[in-house]
Amino acid sequence: MKSYTNPPKSEWATILARPTQSYEALEPIVKEVFDAIQDQGDEALKAYTQKFDGANLDNLLVSEEEIKEGVSLVSTDLQEAIKVAKANIEAFHQAQKTERVAVTTMPGVDCWQEKRAIQKVGLYIPGGTAPLFSTILMLALPAKIAGCQEIVLCSPPNKEGKLNPAILFAAQLCGVTKIVKVGGIQAIGAMTFGTESVPQVYKIFGPGNQYVTTAKQMATKFGVSIDMPAGPSELLVVADDTANADFVASDLLSQAEHGVDSQVVLVTTSEAFASKVTVALEKQLAVLPRKEIAAKAIENSKLIIVDNDETALAIINQYAPEHYIVCVENEDFYVENTYNAGSVFIGNYTPESAGDYASGTNHTLPTNGYAKQYSGVNLDSFTKSMTFQRLSKEGIKKLGKSIELMAEAEGLQAHKNAVTLRLKALEE
C-alpha cells in the first residue's frame, strides 16, 4: 500500500483517485459490440462468447436439464448456507415495503402515490475469476418481492459452455425466469436491445468490470435504466488503536481479492496501528489462493495517517467509499457524520463479508465516488412511484380558478380551456 502521512487537502483528490479507465477510453469497444448485437442478434452473442470466454455455444439459454444437473452438484452444506442468507435478505427487503400514501389536498381533490414493479429487469452476474452467486440473492430476491414479472439473468459461461452450479442453484431458488449464458459487454447489449434468445428489459442491475460498467452507462442512451454505475469493488476502513490489526488486514484483503482493479484504503489516526496492519497484510496475503490478484490490488491501495478524527472524516466523505468499515473508539462521531458511503460496517466483529453474503443488507453498491449521489440497490430500485389524482365536482369548482389563472399567465390557453369547459358544464 502507498503510505501518506498528513497529506495536504490539495493532494487528496490525487491520492484518492480510483485506478479506472474513463468512459471515453472504453466507449469505442462497447459501441462496436452494441452495433454487432443490433445487427446480428444471437449470432453476435455467440461470436463474442467464443472470443472472450472460449466457449462455443449452440444454445444461449440454460435448459431445465442443465439447472437440475447444476443443482445436484451443489453440496448440502452450501445449499443450506445460501438458504440462510436468502432468509435474511428476504426479511430485510420485505421490511422495505411501503404503504400507499394518500392525501386530500383540499375538499374534492384526492392525490395518492403507489409503488408499481418494473415489469422486466435484467441481472448481470459476474462469473469470471469469481462466480458471484451471492449477487443473485441480492438482485433476484428484491425483484421477486417487488413483483417484477420477468427476471432475466446473464452470466458468462466457462470454456465448456456451462455456468457455475451455485449460480444455477441460486437462480432457481430465487425465482429467476430466464438464465442466459452470456457475459461482459455483450450481455448488457443483449438485455438492452433484445435478441432471438434474450428478452429486452427495462432496467439492468449488477456489478461488473470497467467494460460492463461502461456498457451499462451506454445502455441508458437506448432507453434502458440502470441501477448505478457500479464498477470495480472498493473498501475504506477507518481504524485506531482500539481496532484489531489482523481483522482490519483481513477486511482489506477480502476486497483486494475481487480483482486487480479493486481498491482498498485504510485511514487511521495511529502510526503504530498502521505498522501493525502492514505486517498483518503481508502475513495473510502470503497464504491466500488469490494472492496474485490481491497483491496487484494492494498496489493500487492507500494507507493514510492523519492527526485527528475530523481530518479522517473529511477524507472519508470526499472518497465516498462503496464499503465502509468503522473500527474506532469514537464510533458515534464517524457513524453520525459520514454522509457519503454505500454500506457501513460498524465495530470489530462486523466484517464486510457479512454484508457481502448473509446479514441481509444489499451488496450491490455505488463505487467510484458515486455514493455521494447514489443509493445502493434496495427494494425501491425495482419499483416506480406512480402518482394518481381524482377531482370531484366540488374539487374542480374549488381549484379551477387557480388553474385557469396560472395557465393563462404561462400563455397556455388550451390548458385553461380544459378547466373552463368543465366549470361551464357544471353551471348548466
Instruction: Tell me whether residue 380 is annotated as binding.
Output: no
Distances (CA, A) of 425 to 396, 401, 407, 418, 421: 11, 14, 19, 11, 6
Catalytically annotated residue among 66, 322, 352, 363: 322
Give Cβ neighbours of residue 135 (< 8 Å, ≥ 6 apart).
123, 125, 126, 206, 207, 363, 364
**209 labelled binding-site residue:** yes
Read off the C-alpha cell for 205: 442491475
User: Would you say 341 and 326 are in contact if contact means Cβ atoms under 8 Å apart?
Assistant: no
Task: Check the annotation: does 330 bind a ligand.
Answer: no
CA dist 346 and 340 (Å) reads: 15
- Which residues lie below 8 Å from residue 186, measured CB to CB, with a gap of 6+? 33, 37, 44, 45, 48, 49, 52
187 close to 175: Cβ distance less than 8 angstroms: no
Phi/psi of residue 40, each to 5°?
-115, -5
Is residue 124 marked as binding? yes
Answer yes or no: 404 catalytic. no
In order of 112, 230, 236, 256, 384, the CA distances from 377 in angstroms are 25, 10, 19, 22, 14
Of the listed 93, 234, 257, 323, which one is catalytic?
323
* Residue 352, annotated as binding a ligand: no
Q: Is 323 within any annotated ligand binding site?
A: yes
Which amino acid is located at 134 in the chain? S
Residue 42 to residues 52, 70, 295, Cα–Cα distance (Å): 15, 24, 38
User: Cell numbers 490478484 label which residue?
Assistant: 293
Neighbours of 271 (CB within 10 A): 10
186 among the known binding-site residues?
Answer: yes
N- to C-terminal Cα separation, the chain: 81
Q: d(Cα 121, Cα 39) in Å, to the nearest integer?
A: 23
394 is catalytic: no
Which own/partner pairs from 384-390 qualify as long-range (CB within 8 Å, at least 24 positions apart)? 384/115, 384/116, 384/118, 385/113, 385/114, 385/115, 386/113, 386/114, 386/115, 386/116, 387/111, 387/112, 387/113, 388/111, 388/112, 388/113, 388/114, 389/109, 389/110, 389/111, 389/112, 390/110
| Angle (nearest 5°) at CA 332 between 346 and 272 | 70
User: 202 among the known binding-site residues?
Assistant: no
> Annotated binding site for NAD(+): which residue ranges?
124, 186, 209
Binding residues: 124, 186, 209, 233, 255, 258, 323, 356, 410, 415
Which residues participate in the annotated binding site for substrate?
233, 255, 258, 323, 356, 410, 415
Which residue numbers are catalytic?
A: 322-323
Binding-site residues for Zn(2+), in ranges, read 255, 258, 356, 415
